[in-house]
Amino acid sequence: MADKNRYRRTYPVSWDQLHRDSRALAWRLIDSGKSWDKIIAVVRGGLVPAAIIARELDIHYVDTICVSSYTLRQQGELKIIKSIEGINGENALIIDDLVDTGKTAKIVRQMLPDAHFATVYAKPDGKPYVDTYITEVSQDTWILFPWDSEIQFVEPLIQQKP
């Protein structure tokens, strides 16, 4: 089980920012000169970016790999709930919201060794497992995605110091 206190910072991401960052990832993928005919979203976090990227790249084949590794703000035991059968990843684009420690990405890469792996956000420990990403955040940062949050007042940073 991961140390609860390993996250010292929180990086909140709004729906608008996630959409912009996912489109930026699509631009970067287009600029790579490669093309894909299928997207494999890593569920759950990869679903929203995968839908945006599928639209921007005009890809109509979207499937999922279902992997569970987080419980609240902790990374736990990795569980493969649904894998992909019958493809090795050729012409496939794997999309996830974040690569953190790389544990999930490593397993997904083993399932689809020939796929191109892209994430919207990346942390230093996970970067070696992905081919393309947009924004890097520090390893001790918890990314607060819009599906996990609601708008409310937050104390100024100076008042939050212990």
Q: Which residues of 56-76 are buried (b: 16+ CB within 10 A; e: fewer)?
A: ebebeebebbebebbeeeebe
- Cα-Cα-Cα-Cα dihedral sign, residues 30, 33, 35, 41: negative
Q: Catalytic annotation on 37?
A: no
Q: Catalytic annotation on 3?
A: no
Which of 100, 125, 140, 148 is an active site residue?
100
Which of 21, 37, 97, 131 is an active site residue?
97
Which of 3, 21, 96, 131 is an active site residue?
96
Q: Catalytic annotation on 96?
A: yes
- In whole angstroms, what is the distance from residue 129 CA to residue 66 CA? 18
- Residues designated catalytic: 96-97, 100
